Amino acid sequence: MLLLTATIVANTSFALILRAAQRRHANDMAVGMINYLFASIFFGILGLISRPDGATTAAAYALAGGSFNVMIYLLLLPAMRFRGVAISIAMVRLAVVIPLAAAIVVWNEAPSSVQTYGILLAFVAVPMLSLEKGISDAPLTMRRIAVLLGLLLCNGMTLLMLKAFQMTGFTGARPIYLGVVFAIGAVVCAIAWLRGRKAPLGALEIKWGILLGTSNALTNILIFATLDVLLASVMFPILAAAGLSLSTIFAAIAWREIPGKLGWAGIAVAVVAIVLANL
């Protein structure tokens, strides 16, 4: 129970740390660069120490997984600005239906009736969350809808690539996979920062970047540790539902980022959808 609780807290902390850095006007791309660089070095060292079988396969899958992973970061930044933490994270968590759908189509896995209800509820939650006004009264535009749907798609593809890699059987090469995933994120954020920076890399960005990178690395370590003692079908719905709930409550109390009625309803439907889709 203690391990699962620690995993929930660590998993929830990433978006909250990123939002806190935003609210303190840290350079988003510099924070992302330090975050990914820190996590990449950490897992790279673990990979070099363990020298696992399947390192080349892990790196190949990570090239695709890393590309989608960094897109989540890039899309999460504007999403949190115009929709707040709760709505943005709800869209991210709903992405669990994408690898589930792929498992049905590609790997011929038959969903249970309960999982089918979860998938259907996810399709109900998406428009509710997209149409919620969020923390600003800015009008809903096609670009903003694309950002929210992009979050859903990119996180879904990230989860799908991780599932595809796990099915290779080279689970010992997870540090290599994660090291390459985060290295791609570091390179992309570094390019974006160098092209658009208005100020040099400062102590503020380094501090928040290391904090975010620590959250990133710790979350992945705890997830794998929890999977060793709990079934994935038990852990992931609890992790997603609890993380979404905690993020919403924290943002509402600390930053007064309170969703409207449609947003609360969408979050509630999303929590139910996430749990059912993982059962």
For the chain, 279 residues long, give each residue's pLDDT as a single digit of tens: 688 788 888 888 988 999 999 989 899 999 999 999 999 999 999 999 988 999 999 999 999 999 999 999 999 998 888 878 877 888 887 777 777 677 677 767 666 777 777 777 777 776 777 666 665 666 667 888 888 889 888 988 888 888 788 788 898 899 999 999 999 999 999 999 988 766 678 899 999 999 999 999 998 888 878 877 776 666 677 777 777 778 888 888 888 877 778 778 878 887 787 777 766
- At 106, which amino acid appears? V
**pTM given for the model:** 0.83
- Please report the pLDDT score of residue 138 as a whole number: 63
Cα–Cα distances (Å) from 221 to 31, 133, 170, 243, 272, in that order, read: 21, 36, 17, 17, 27
Residue matched to tokens 């509820």: 121
- Please report the pLDDT score of residue 229 as a whole number: 78
- Please report the pLDDT score of residue 231 as a whole number: 64
For every residue of 36-58, DSSP letters joined together read HHHHHHHHHHHHHHH--TTHHHH
- Please report the pLDDT score of residue 136 as a whole number: 62
**pLDDT single digits (tens) 103-140:** 677 767 666 777 777 777 777 776 777 666 665 666 66
The domain segmentation of the chain, as residue ranges, is: 2-277
Largest CA distance in the chain: 54
- Please report the pLDDT score of residue 271 as a whole number: 79
Contact by Cβ (8 Å): 47, 176: yes
Q: How many residues does the structure list for the chain?
A: 279
Question: For residues 40-54, b (16+ Cβ closer than 10 Å) or e, as one string?
Answer: bbbbbebbeeeebeb
How far is Cα 216 from Cα 14, in angstroms, rounded to an integer? 7
**pLDDT single digits (tens) 199-243:** 678 899 999 999 999 999 998 888 878 877 776 666 677 777 777
